[in-house]
Amino acid sequence: MFNKRTEVAKVLSGGQPGEEIIVMGWVRTFRNNQFIALNDGSTNTNLQVVAPLEKFEDALLKRLTTGAAIRATGKLVESPGKGQRVELVADSIDILGDSDAEKYPLQPKRHSLEFLREIAHLRFRTNTFASVFRVRSIVAFAIHKFFVDKGFVYIHSPIITASDAEGAGETFHVTNFDLANVPKGENGKVNFKEDFFGRAANLTVSGQLEAELGATALGNVYTFGPTFRAENSNTARHLAEFWMIEPEMAFYDLEDNMDLAEEFIKYIIRYALDHCPDDMAFLAKRLEEEEKQKPQQERSEMGLVEKLQFVIENEFERISYTEAIDILKNSNHNKKKKFQYPVNEWGIDLQSEHERYLVEKHFKKPVILYDYPKDIKAFYMRQNDDGKTVAAMDILAPGIGEIVGGSQREERLDKLVSRMEEMNIPADDLYWYLDIRKFGTVPHAGFGLGFERVVQFITGMTNIRDVIPFPRYPKNVEF
């Protein structure tokens, strides 16, 4: 068998002097024609592999360049150097893959995140992105564990759909047409009956509506999959392709929903801290260095791990949208016109700057806002008795603003149909969604969590494009 290797992380944590092992990985540096810093992705810490002088031919040593992949066999010894317990003295070294040192773009120096985005196929090999994506993997596992342990059923909602769950029209169209010769009807409009699905189709913006179908039969369900928004936003907070976690729970009201969402967020943060201590420590140090480049007044009051512990240990502040508007309207920030979007009246759609003010300046902890104006929310949210608001809730987190959006769903058929008519959403297209209000309707609720946003929050990365392996955004679909 070719792969009888020991991972570097296991060597560093438990390897004992005298053990004979095989390691494989990529050369980070090679100095003095003797000392190889080897990394295999299992940890950010390199294993020092010693190539004893005069044991290996010059031709081989010249191929030990940064980025080259090697296999080294030898014996572990106590390391005389600081910061490492053991090192490997190599008896044999095989080159598995050469790397042209002059062309390899990842040199042993600090690279900007902007540059690394341009070579996203190689940025996994940097310490920053290795840590980010190991944390991302652990958080994904924690999400499944949380729901499965609670008895939720994992369902796969469709990626191709005919519905626009949010009603915003920001969808990517899916077609089998030859775009140079699109068939049209007598009215001059595209004849989708000739298309692959026999009707207009698009990539999903949410699995929520389908998850509701599952919840009204299976009780508690969740989806976790890719979603797509054709939103022309070139910001550090938006992606065209991202992953969403969307639980739906039968026999839940808005308060139950808020309780579950808060418990969920705390659980996955705690799981990341417990299971990725080295990566979290590295990312915390990285963020600390980044913060030092900012003016004093713009620096965070807490370090990354401290901030996450604070979230875990404190109850989220819960206030109504109406209370939030009063706070924002009467704030010195608003009175001194420091908001880009002034807060002057009830009913406005809160911007990220408003959300972050509430979280970072006013309450200084995560906030759950609830009971939003119905006119700025989706058709499926349960209408409150005041006739003006819906039973919606958003969770706002420091640094990024909204991280969770959810609501109690409208289970009353007449109210739902009326609201769809108001918003010009054709009932015929969503007959299946209305059916669950006709046959044994129940109070139910759910929420959506943008996976990349929670990974961004946990890792401290400032740009959402740096927490997904291959970011999709306007004018970019590389790799």
List, as one string, the DSSP characters of 132-149: HHHHHHHHHHHHHHHHHH
Q: Which pLDDT score, from 0 to 100, does residue 345 have? A: 94
Q: Which residues pair with 184 in a beta bridge?
A: 190
**What does the DSSP 8-state code read for residue 152?**
P
Quick one: which of 243, 139, 109, 219 has its CA closest to 445? 219
**Parallel, antiparallel or unpaired: strands 160-161 and 201-203:** antiparallel
Q: Which pLDDT score, from 0 to 100, does residue 169 have? A: 61
Quick one: which of 77, 63, 71 has its CA closest to 23? 71
Q: Which residues pair with 46 in a beta bridge?
A: none
Q: Which pLDDT score, from 0 to 100, does residue 167 have? A: 57
Give the whole-angstrom CA distance, residue 342 versus residue 166. 26
CB of 181 closer than 8 Å to CB of 116: no
For residues 356-391, one letter each, b for 16 or more C-beta atoms within 10 angstroms of the residue's C-beta and e for the rest, the string is bbbbbebbebbbbbbbbbbeebbbbbbbbeeeebbb
SS3 content of the chain, % helix, strand, coil (to 5): 35, 25, 40
Compute mean pLDDT per 10 residues along the chain, 479 residues long, and list them: 90 95 97 96 97 94 97 95 90 97 89 93 96 98 98 97 73 93 90 93 94 97 96 86 97 98 98 98 94 80 90 95 97 93 95 93 94 96 97 91 94 96 91 96 97 96 95 91
**Class of residue 200 by CB neighbours under 10 A (exposed 0-12, middle 13-18, buried 19+):** middle
Give the whole-angstrom CA distance, residue 373 versus residue 150. 32
Q: Domain 8-109: what homologous superfamily?
A: Nucleic acid-binding proteins (2.40.50.140)
Topology (CATH) of 125-157+215-466 = BirA Bifunctional Protein; domain 2 (3.30.930)
Provide the token pair at 381. Answer: 């949210």
Give the whole-angstrom CA distance, residue 194 versus residue 383. 39
> In 2-126, which ranges are continuous DSSP H helix?
8-14, 58-61, 113-118
How far is C-alpha 124 from the chain's CA centre? 16
Q: Which pLDDT score, from 0 to 100, does residue 146 have? A: 98
Give the whole-angstrom CA distance, residue 405 versus residue 454. 12
Q: Which residues pair with 247 in a beta bridge?
A: 222
Query: How many CB atoms lie under 10 A from the CB of residue 209?
Result: 22
How many residues make up the chain in this entry? 479
Give the whole-angstrom CA distance, residue 250 versus residue 442. 7
CATH 2.40.50.140 domain locations along the chain: 8-109
Provide the token pair at 461. Answer: 């990365």
How many helices (H) and strands (E) would you count in the chain? 14, 16
Give the whole-angstrom CA distance, residue 244 versus residue 236. 18
CATH 3.30.930.10 domain locations along the chain: 125-157+215-466
Sign of the CA dihedral 64, 70, 73, 74? positive
Tokens 């309707």 locate to 441
